[in-house]
Amino acid sequence: MNHASREHLGWLLDVYLRPDGTLVGWLLNDDGQHHLLAWDFPVTIYLEGSPTHLRQVWRTLTDPNLHKARVVRQDIYGHSHTLLALTAPSPGQAQALYHHLQRTFPHLDAYDADLPLGVQVMVRTGVPLLGRCRFRHDGQHLLEINSLASPWDLDPPLPPLRLLRLYPDRDPTLAPPQVLHLEFATYHYRLPLRPLRPFLINLQAIWARCDPDLILSDHGDAWFFPFLQQAAPQFNPNRDPTLGVQFRRERTLFAYGQVLYRAPQAHLCGRWHIDRRNAVLFSEIGLDGVFELARVTGLGVQDAARKSPGAGITALQMQTALRERILVPVAKPEAETPRTLPHLIAHDRGGLIYQPLLGVHTQVAEIDFTSMYPAIMVNANISPETLGHPDAPPGLIPRTLQPLLHKRLALKRWLQSLPPQDCRVPTLRARQTALKWLLVVCFGYLGYKNARFGRVESHEAVTARSRELLLQAKALAEDLGFTVLHMYVDSLFVHHPDAHTPDALTPLLEAIERQTGIPVALEGIYRWLVFPPARRHPSLAVANRYFGVFTDGRIKARGIALRRHDTPPFVAQTQAALLHLLAQAEHPTQRVADAWDWVAQQIARLQRHEVDVADLRMAVKLSRSPSAYRHPGPAAWAAWQLEAQGTAPRPGMRLGFWFTRQGIRVTPPAPDEVDYDRYARLVWRAAAEILEPLTPLPPNRQPRLPLLGRRSPIQCAQVAPSACKALTSC
């Protein structure tokens, strides 16, 4: 051992690149000291093409630090490829080399050229990000690192992190903030932004005192860090002094049939920055879920928070491929094979959706297949390379998914064994939800046109198998005397007049599990469940649109106003309160009269201007650029107004606005300017969505305002926004 070197136990928190291309490991030892250590980490990329082109590349590259070799490697299908292997001394140099060759020799195919740093580190050293490790260093360089953890550990210890919360006093997209709030441990600092000099002095003092590892912000990406760079370019919020804030550009993309907007990003080095408002799924999985994603996928914490779960599942597939020395293509290597129309009609289909039976139902059991699609991929060995080979060994996709599936099931079982008030429940729930999202998207990525290891036929094989399994489950339920009310991809809603308890459902659950080989779980038994009518025809119900109350009092709703993002909080809270009111009754029709009165009271509150203007804010997504609207709706008017104010709305952005008597307004109006009649109509429509299936509407389709005052006011709990949110995520 080198005498100058020191050894520590600790955590590997992150890896990043310095401008010279060197890899840096950010490590925290058990004494609480942070180390930013240069890491000797050579990286190999592979090129394939005609011998002439490869010979040209060989001759062009004369850097003595670059190692060149001719190698033979296999792809996912087991085909051998003769390749030019180029080993650069650092990941940064390998990246620069790849980009140079891409421009100079665009006809060459590249492999292993764009792997995330965390993935490469994880595969080569076995140390997961946020994982325990033993490391040796000389103060500047990381000399050795050994893993003491696995990404599949069920209860990994978390490093002690210093967390700083940071948020402005108002939404910067609506008005310039005046004050910055900073929260660290039990301290709360309130810094006025003007005058600038004292603000910056105070900020630097707090930054130095807190020395945060993680900055959790609101509007940090789009507002705070750009503002800070402009106001104080000399102030470096990083722990690594050799690097400034790493800004990434905003972008708009089209995915899952939606236009999505990703705001610009501000990444730090030697610290983490997460903007809660620009982090995918953060409201659902929180920090615990983000850490779980980083630990399992190898994406850094800042990327894991901001990227979609699709990037996570791709990283996991890359890990499997790298470990097994399978080539990872930069672009999808092959196009879809041509097929006949009858073949497409037979196979190009999704999950089975069985139209619900309209109306109010009692004693309904909801049965869900647990992680149905990933379980099908693992059980039936569905992977691009195993299609058409029933006896093939497990493919790359099942090998990737198996540990993920096992970990999620183990976390779920652990959760079920804990009482609801146990302090570990929120953390475990967040972690298993994060893994759930990885499993959810892994199916979609089989058919995604840009997926590295995707093939649409394997995607179709999964849906075909799922339809078959759901039909088998339906037949079993009917054999046992159940009526199947609704089926939706991986869940069944069944009714039996005698099935009041979970025990009564056990024979059915066991029969389904035995027959299909996939675990099923009883989501619950509804005391009552309503499938409301479709707008297009009153005799039709709509798939996956329902609301009901479980026997334990939980409320579940899908497809109604409170689940939609564009519904103003006041309308969503009114609808949620209505559901809570109906949930008190054994049968929902028993409280319908009270419910109508509650609606009347809410409308009367609106008419008396008693509702907070903030609770009336609409939020719609801009589906195209403002100039592309030919028949402008509220979103277009809001966008044009923002443009006039100097803000450039981008497609995919969610715009907030209010209905006022003068039209759409993007800034909060005064209470007497609000168009309360418009909001009353929204409340009425949301109430009718719930109450119409339970009772005919009043003949003139007007709110029963005359009832107001006839009876004593209905004691209906005001639903707090948090409760409303909990209901939507039920």
Q: Which of 144, 288, 348, 368 binds other proteins (CB under 8 A)?
A: 348
Site membership for other proteins, residue 352 (CB under 8 A): yes
**Which region, judged by CB under 8 A, interacts with other proteins, from 15-23, 341-349, 382-390, 646-654?**
341-349
Helix (H) or strand (E) segment spanning residue 163 = strand 163-168
CB closer to other proteins, 355 vs 623: 355
Under a CB-based contact definition with an 8 Å cutoff, are residues 512 and 527 in contact?
A: no
CB closer to other proteins, 185 vs 341: 341
Under a CB-based contact definition with an 8 Å cutoff, are residues 673 and 660 in contact?
A: yes
Strands annotated E in 448-496: 483-488, 491-495
Site membership for other proteins, residue 581 (CB under 8 A): no
Site membership for other proteins, residue 342 (CB under 8 A): yes
Rounded to a whole number of angstroms, the minimum distance from the CB of residue 534 to other proteins is: 8
Running DSSP on this structure, what letter comes out for residue 671? G
Which tokens is 422 given? Answer: 């146990």
CB closer to other proteins, 105 vs 354: 354
**Which region, judged by CB under 8 A, interacts with other proteins, from 185-193, 297-305, 349-357, 360-368?**
349-357
Rounded to a whole number of angstroms, the minimum distance from the CB of residue 486 to other proteins is: 11
Maximum Cα–Cα distance across the chain? 93
What whole-number distance in Å separates Cα of residue 388 and Cα of residue 516? 21
Rounded to a whole number of angstroms, the minimum distance from the CB of residue 374 to other proteins is: 17
Strand partners, 484: 494
CB closer to other proteins, 340 vs 421: 340
Residue 250 Cα distances to 171, 224, 260, 325, 470, angstroms: 18, 15, 11, 35, 42
Closest by CA to 367, choosing from 452, 274, 472, 464, is: 472
Q: Which of 341, 390, 420, 423 binds other proteins (CB under 8 A)?
A: 341
Site membership for other proteins, residue 353 (CB under 8 A): yes
Q: Which of 99, 188, 194, 349 binds other proteins (CB under 8 A)?
A: 349
CB closer to other proteins, 208 vs 341: 341
Residue 641 Cα distances to 164, 454, 645, 649, 658, angstroms: 35, 43, 6, 10, 12
Cis previous bond, 226, omega within 30: no
Q: Which residues contact 187 (CB under 8 A, 6 or more apart)?
A: none
CB closer to other proteins, 1 vs 345: 345
Rounded to a whole number of angstroms, the minimum distance from the CB of residue 467 to other proteins is: 8
What string marks each residue from 420 to 459 as x (binds other proteins by CB under 8 A) or -? ---------------------------x--------x--x
Distance between alpha carbon 692 and the CA centroid of its chain, in Å? 34
Closest by CA to 574, choosing from 454, 691, 423, is: 691
CB closer to other proteins, 354 vs 629: 354
Binding footprint of other proteins, residue count (CB under 8 A):
24
Q: Hey, which residues between 529 and 548 contact other proteins (CB under 8 A)? A: 536-537, 539-540
Strand partners, 180: 168, 191
Site membership for other proteins, residue 406 (CB under 8 A): no
Q: Hey, which residues between 355 and 384 contact other proteins (CB under 8 A)? A: 355
Q: Which of 354, 414, 629, 640 binds other proteins (CB under 8 A)?
A: 354
What whole-number distance in Å separates Cα of residue 95 and Cα of residue 97? 5
Under a CB-based contact definition with an 8 Å cutoff, are residues 544 and 368 in contact?
A: no
Which tokens is 21 given? Answer: 């291309």
CB closer to other proteins, 350 vs 632: 350
Site membership for other proteins, residue 335 (CB under 8 A): no
Under a CB-based contact definition with an 8 Å cutoff, are residues 253 and 306 in contact?
A: no
Site membership for other proteins, residue 487 (CB under 8 A): yes
Helix (H) or strand (E) segment spanning residue 15 = strand 6-17
CB closer to other proteins, 137 vs 545: 545
- Phi and psi dihedrals of 107, rounded to 5? -85, -10
CB closer to other proteins, 241 vs 350: 350
Strands annotated E in 437-550: 483-488, 491-495, 520-531, 546-550
Q: Hey, which residues between 133 and 192 contact other proteins (CB under 8 A)? A: none
Site membership for other proteins, residue 350 (CB under 8 A): yes
Rounded to a whole number of angstroms, the minimum distance from the CB of residue 357 to other proteins is: 9
Q: Hey, which residues between 455 and 484 contact other proteins (CB under 8 A)? A: 456, 459-460, 463, 467
Strands annotated E in 508-565: 520-531, 546-550, 555-558
Rounded to a whole number of angstroms, the minimum distance from the CB of residue 317 to other proteins is: 21
Rounded to a whole number of angstroms, the minimum distance from the CB of residue 627 to other proteins is: 30
- Phi and psi dihedrals of 434, rounded to 5? -60, -45
Rounded to a whole number of angstroms, the minimum distance from the CB of residue 434 to other proteins is: 26
Binding residues vs other proteins (CB under 8 A):
341-342, 344-346, 348-355, 447, 456, 459-460, 463, 467, 487, 536-537, 539-540
